Amino acid sequence: HAKAWGRGCFRRFSASMDEQAQSKRQIEVDLRKALVHDELEVFYQPVVDIRTGRANAFEALLRWRHPSQGFISPTVFIPIAEETGMIVEIGEWVLNRACRDAASWPDNIRVAVNFSAIQFRRSNICDVITRALASSRLAANRLEVEVTETIVIQDTEATLLVFHELAALGVRLALDDFGTGYSSLSYLNRFPFHKIKIDRAFVKDLDDPKSLAVITAIMHLAKDLDISMVVEGVETPAQLALLAARGIHEIQGFLFSRPAPLGEIMEMIRVPFRLPFSQAA
Ligand code: C2E
Ligand code: MG
Ligand code: MG
Ligand code: MG
């Protein structure tokens, strides 16, 4: 260890820390301009029912085309937007755009929108959602609100109240990235979730029979609780076949489509996805 922390290394290390802080500040500054300069865009990724090959929902995923740096991943700028509180405004923008876009899709297709914990704390999320639905004329049951476990852990009682308000509006609630955090099973019966989304970390390890066993167990639990389940991050026909054999049928992943611009969605709705195996088999 002593060697790794030698002077030369340390200097380089601290310089890169400094660069990191600098680029973070720059992103923060640029992000403030991004909204007004129209650099943000919402892409959509289908959730496919593999019994029919049809998309039944699309997840809205934010994209930022930075004028000089090109595309910046939401995994980079969302945490900064959360730290600075900008996510409240950005999140509201995404919600309104997604509701407006989805209003032009067939009635049986839902749209899923990601929400950060801060949006629940810093704004009246029920009002924000009610307004977005009213102005887009999207039926409440076509909107899925995706939250992660961090929301459930913080301010549990307050969150529970808001969730019940949202459920009363008719909006659907989805627990995202399931299995990556604390994943206390008690959330599943305490909170009115309609859906859980299994994180793609499980799919990556699908060769390990234990990973498949965990997914299958969660599937049975979800079924008994009358909660639907999506598996995220399916990239290969082999992964799909393993999940299909276990009776899992709601799938999201690059195998079907990467997140795509609005202009490509109608075609994905019109033409069913090709399945890599025969349905008759
Ligand atoms: P998420 O909500 O879990 O979204 C799924 C992420 O997995 C997306 O990454 C999607 O492109 C990626 N993905 C889907 N299928 C596959 C696959 O088969 N393989 C691989 N390797 N990846 C796959 P993306 O678009 O980069 O978004 C990352 C995260 O950023 C999201 O994770 C979400 O937590 C956050 N995010 C994106 N848009 C928003 C937003 O509008 N608001 C908030 N609060 N967060 C957002
Ligand atoms: Mg999500
Ligand atoms: Mg997820
Ligand atoms: Mg995530």
User: Which one of the ligands is nearest to 203 CA?
Assistant: 1
Residue 11 pLDDT greater than 60, yes or no = no
pTM above 0.80, yes or no: yes
Atom number of ligand 1 nearest to Cα 81: 44
Ligand 1 centre and the CA of 85: distance in Å? Answer: 20
Q: Is the model's pLDDT at 128 over the cut of 70?
A: yes
pLDDT tens-digit readout, 33-48 = 998 999 999 999 999 9
pLDDT at residue 213 greater than cutoff 70: yes
State which of 58, 78, 101, 258 you would mutate to test the pocket of ligand 1, scoring each by most atoms of that ligand within 8 A of its C-beta.
Answer: 78
pLDDT, one tens digit per residue, over 222-274 is 999 999 999 999 999 999 999 999 999 999 999 999 999 999 999 999 999 99
Q: Are strands 40-49 and 260-261 parallel, antiparallel or unpaired?
A: antiparallel
Tell me, what's the pLDDT at 92? 97
Question: What's residue 116's pLDDT?
Answer: 96
Q: Which of 94-98, 127-131, 215-219 has the lowest mean pLDDT?
A: 215-219
pLDDT of residue 280: 44
Which is higher by pLDDT, 281 or 237? 237
Query: At residue 70, does pLDDT exceed 60?
Result: yes
pLDDT of residue 13: 55
> Could you tell me the distance, in angstroms and rounded to a whole number, from the CA of residue 113 to the centre of ligand 2?
7
Q: How many CA atoms lie within 13 A of 245 on its CB side?
A: 10
Q: Give ion ligand 4 contacts, CB < 5 A.
A: 177
Nearest-angstrom CA–CA distance, 197 and 232: 7
What ipTM was assigned to the predicted interfaces of this complex? 0.98
Instruction: Give the pLDDT confidence score for residue 5 in this predicted structure.
Output: 44
Give me the mean pLDDT over the 125-147 stretch.
Answer: 98
For residue 87, the ligand 1 atom closest to its alpha carbon is: 44
**CB-based pocket (< 6 A), ligand 1:** 45, 61-62, 73-75, 78, 87, 91, 94, 114-116, 146, 176-177, 200, 232-235, 252-254, 259
Using a pLDDT cut of 90, give the percent of the chain over it.
77
Tell which wins on pLDDT, 179 or 259: 259
Kindly tell me if the per-residue pLDDT of 137 is higher than 70. yes
The closest residue, in CA terms, to atom 22 on ligand 1 is 233
Task: Give ∠ CA 154-142-73 in degrees, rounded to 5.
Answer: 60
Index of the ligand 1 atom closest to the CA of residue 259: 11
CA of 177 to the centre of ligand 1 (A): 10
User: 248: CA distance to ligand 4 center in Å?
Assistant: 21
Distance 8 CA to ligand 3 centre (A): 40
Band of the pLDDT at 14, cuts 50, 70, 90? Answer: low
